[in-house]
């Protein structure tokens, strides 16, 4: 059976099936330590152009201080294989694609021409032809990976923050994300009108009340909330 060919077509299909963004939203050296490790090692080995040293040192210090930085060699990204490295392990699949044009966590190139020739003869015997969508012609081993399966991905997603308990009176289904806050269920024990009245009568300075009303206006201006509560938003700016 021909193995998965994890090119851009496969990757986009996986993202679509999962209802996710086409490419990993954390795939930069600034947002993911595995991405940084992968880019840094390729740079150190001369496989890609040299990374700016000041930036490298800054990011290395940042990620080594992060709780997600691997504490054992088994969990770290690595390049091995001697004078001419051929084994790339625990890689960011996005970085692997940039270099090898395949989305994978592990890529092993042929050690020498003897291994390559042996593989090519075996594939020819199977009826496969050069140019087929089959990575076995060019690599000893590949472990395809979509970013949603990356063990680092779920750990670096922004943690959901809990809002103070607020209930919106109306039929709301699903999750709302308002001003960067996630709302998972009805929470407010006050109507929005009551809440506005309490802000206006609160024992606070005019500046503090204005700031609270501004935040309230920000919530009400969200399209989903505005569709639910209608004209109440107009009262806030008064």
pLDDT at 181: 46
pLDDT, tens only, 97-138: 999 999 999 999 999 999 999 999 999 999 898 888 999 999
For the chain, the average pLDDT equals: 83
pLDDT, tens only, 46-96: 999 999 999 999 999 999 999 999 999 999 999 998 888 999 999 999 999
pLDDT at 212: 78
pLDDT at 207: 78
The DSSP line for the chain is: -PPP--SHHHHHHHHHHHT--SS-TT-STTT-HHHHHHHHHHHHTTSSPPPPHHHHHHHHHHHHTSTTS-SSGGGS-EEESTTS--EEES--HHHHHHHHSS-EEEEE--SSHHHHHHHHHHHHHHT--TTSS-GGGT-SEEEE--GGG-TTHHHHSPPPPBPPP---SS---S-EEETTEEE-S---SS-HHHHHHHHHHSSS-HHHHHHHHHHHHHHHTSHHHHHHHGGGHHHHT-
pLDDT at 213: 77
What are the residue ranges spanned by the domains of the chain?
8-156, 176-236
pLDDT, tens only, 144-177: 999 999 999 988 755 444 444 555 555 555 555 5
Tell me which range, 8-12, 182-186, 193-197, 220-224, is most confidently predicted by mean pLDDT: 8-12
- Binned at pLDDT 50, 70 and 90, residue 226 comes out as low
């Amino acid at each position: 059976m021909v193995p998965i060919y994890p090119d851009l077509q496969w990757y986009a299909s996986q993202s679509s099936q999962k209802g996710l963004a086409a490419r990993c939203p954390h795939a930069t050296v600034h947002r993911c330590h595995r991405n940084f490790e992968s880019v840094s090692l390729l740079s150190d080995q001369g496989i890609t152009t040299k990374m700016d040293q000041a930036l490298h040192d800054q990011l290395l210090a940042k990620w080594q201080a992060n709780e997600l930085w691997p504490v054992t060699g088994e969990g770290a990204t690595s390049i091995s294989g001697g004078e001419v490295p051929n084994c790339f392990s625990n890689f960011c699949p996005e970085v692997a694609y940039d270099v090898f044009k395949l989305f994978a966590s592990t890529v092993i190139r042929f050690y020498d021409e003897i291994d390559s020739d042996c593989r090519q003869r075996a594939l020819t015997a199977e009826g496969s032809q050069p140019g087929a969508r089959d990575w076995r012609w060019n690599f000893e081993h590949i472990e395809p990976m979509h970013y949603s399966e990356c063990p680092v991905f779920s750990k670096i997603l922004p943690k959901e923050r809990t809002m103070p308990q607020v209930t919106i009176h109306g039929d709301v289904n699903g999750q709302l994300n308002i001003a960067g806050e996630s709302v998972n269920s009805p929470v407010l024990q006050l109507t929005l009108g009551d809440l506005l009245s309490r802000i206006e009568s609160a024992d606070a300075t005019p500046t503090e009340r204005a700031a609270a009303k501004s935040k309230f206006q920000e919530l009400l201006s969200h399209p989903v909330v505005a569709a639910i509560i209608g004209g109440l938003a107009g009262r806030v700016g008064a």
